[in-house]
Amino acid sequence: MSDDSTPLRFVTPRGRLIALAVVCLLVTVLGVLIVVLNPDQIIPLLLGVAVIGIFGLGGGISIVRQLIGSTVLRADADGVRLAGLGVVPWTDIDRIGTTPQGELGLRFRRPDALVTNPRSSIDPADMRATRSVSGGYDLTFSERELGTPPGDAARALRARRP
């Protein structure tokens, strides 16, 4: 039980995002070189413009979106906020623990706690399938997603729970 008002956040690690940014930058530079070195040849020109568009513009948008939406879980006094899915109140969370596969698991008191949320894209059949293979948990999160060992995340969430 916690009376701390500071939200607990689990953010996707930035290492892979930085690697993606470097790759996009390098490929975009290659696209610019193709355009600059072949201004009179249509196929290389089209290829260069496509590379610049896909890796420069598309990669840039992807990186910005991932930076903005990098918080996977946020726990505060109201409950657990799940990225892109909404808030699950503490009263709807039955159990927080680690799955047999070593992932963070959340089990809900009401199976529809997240399904009925208008922001949720979770399908009840998917939740049942997850529950059957994860030791009874409705949602699971890997260390890669959380940026911290799932056991540590489970302990921190249980400590934050009012």
For residues 86 and 118, state if they share a domain: yes
Quick: pLDDT tens for 2-34. 455 688 888 877 787 888 999 999 999 999 999
C-alpha 93 chain-centroid distance? 20
For residues 109 and 125, state if they share a domain: yes
| CA dist., res. 133 & res. 155, Å (int) | 22
In total, the chain counts a number of residues equal to: 162
Q: Cβ contacts of residue 37 below 8 Å, gap of 6+?
A: 44
What domain range includes position 99?
74-160
User: 1 pLDDT exceeds 50?
Assistant: no
Q: What pLDDT does 45 receive?
A: 93
For residues 81 and 150, state if they share a domain: yes
Q: Which residue has the higher pLDDT, 53 or 13?
A: 53
Quick: pLDDT tens for 74-86. 899 888 988 777 7
For residues 38 and 101, state if they share a domain: no
For residues 132 and 92, state if they share a domain: yes
Q: What pLDDT does 48 receive?
A: 95
Quick: pLDDT tens for 104-134. 999 988 767 666 556 566 777 777 788 888 8
* Three-state SS letters, the chain: CCCCCCCEEEECCCHHHHHHHHHHHHHHHHHHHHHHHCCCCHHHHHHHHHHHHHHHHHHHHHHHHHHHCCEEEEEECCEEEECCCEEEEHHHEEEEEECCCCCEEEEECCCCCCCCCCCCCCCHHHHHHHHHHCCCCCEEECHHHHCCCHHHHHHHHHHHCC
Q: What pLDDT does 54 receive?
A: 96
User: What's the mean per-residue pLDDT of the chain?
Assistant: 86
Q: What are phi and psi of 95, to 5 degrees?
A: -150, 145
154 lies in a domain?
yes
Q: What pLDDT does 117 receive?
A: 58
Mean pLDDT of 43-72: 89
For residues 85 and 35, state if they share a domain: no
For residues 54 and 114, state if they share a domain: no
For residues 78 and 156, state if they share a domain: yes
Mean pLDDT of 136-149: 88
